[in-house]
Amino acid sequence: MAEHETGKATYVFASCKAWHRPYFDALSKEGHAQWIWVSQPSELVGTLERTSPRYIFFLHWNWLVPKSIWERHECVCFHMTDVPYGRGGSPLQNLIVAGHSQTKLTALRMVEEMDAGPVYTKKDLDLSGTAQEIYVRAGALSTEIIRWMVSVEPEPVPQSGEPVTFRRRTPEQSRLPESGDMARLYDFIRMLDADGYPHAFLDYGDFRLEFRKAQQDDMELSAQVKIYKRKNEA
């Protein structure tokens, strides 16, 4: 077990999303370990120059983790699918587009191939609500898994089954669809409704309309709309 200079075990909590900070703070206050928050690659590298953590937990990370890190340290990432189904990018959006209302939050060991590492555990995750609400819910569940892993130190089990890979969505794919039913339109708006994500949009002349906070009622749908001047695309 890796120890900090205080004699406590050391763990790194890596996330680039502010909504995970309360979970880190809760773990830090529990007192049985040394917890280190990192939100940028430079912070991660600097931390690993000073200490050797037992685990590095990646809750949400927008950058490729170098081989030099995941080979030397036990890196745990959290993926919102029942792997090997749904490896790859934009798992939440791809799940909802495919019609899923439930999924698994999987804790797996980081290896060279994306989301292909052995699995520590899987927990049920509800996909109702906005993307923001789902991400916060996943953060709470990830924290439960972290507590369990710190206590048990489980051995991960290799994945089995035929992989299904998701493609990372592009900002242009957030354009509101021109056909379909109200339920699908509601799902489309809510699955993109999270801080820092390209929201569902329509372009109208010089203006862009962004849609959030969708509510569905029988045959009608309401949403909050933000309108701003589009940038020149020449």
**Given this model, what pLDDT does residue 49 score?**
95
Q: Where are the domains of the chain?
A: 9-166, 171-229
- The fold for domain 171-229 equals Methionyl-tRNA Fmet Formyltransferase; Chain A, domain 2 (3.10.25)
What does pTM read for this prediction? 0.91
Residue 14 burial (10 A CB sphere; 0-12, 13-18, 19+): buried
Share of the chain above pLDDT 70, in %: 96
Q: Which residue has the tokens 């924290």?
A: 143
pLDDT of residue 168: 94
pLDDT per residue as tens digits for the range 155-213: 999 999 999 999 999 999 999 999 888 999 999 999 999 998 899 999 999 999 999 99
CATH level 3 topology of 9-166: Rossmann fold (3.40.50)
Reduced 3-state DSSP string for the chain: CCECCCCCEEEEEEECCHHHHHHHHHHHHCCCEEEEEECCHHHHHHHHHHCCCCEEEEEECCCCCCHHHHCCCCEEEEECCCCCEEEECCHHHHHHHCCCCEEEEEEEECCCCCCCCCEEEEEEEECCCCHHHHHHHHHHHHHHHHHHHHHHCCCCECCCCCCEEECCCCHHHHECCCCCCHHHHHHHHHHCCCCCCCCEEEEECCEEEEEEEEEEECCEEEEEEEEEECCCCC
Residues of the chain with pLDDT under 50: 1, 4-5, 234
The pLDDT of residue 62: 92
Q: What is the pLDDT of residue 196?
A: 86
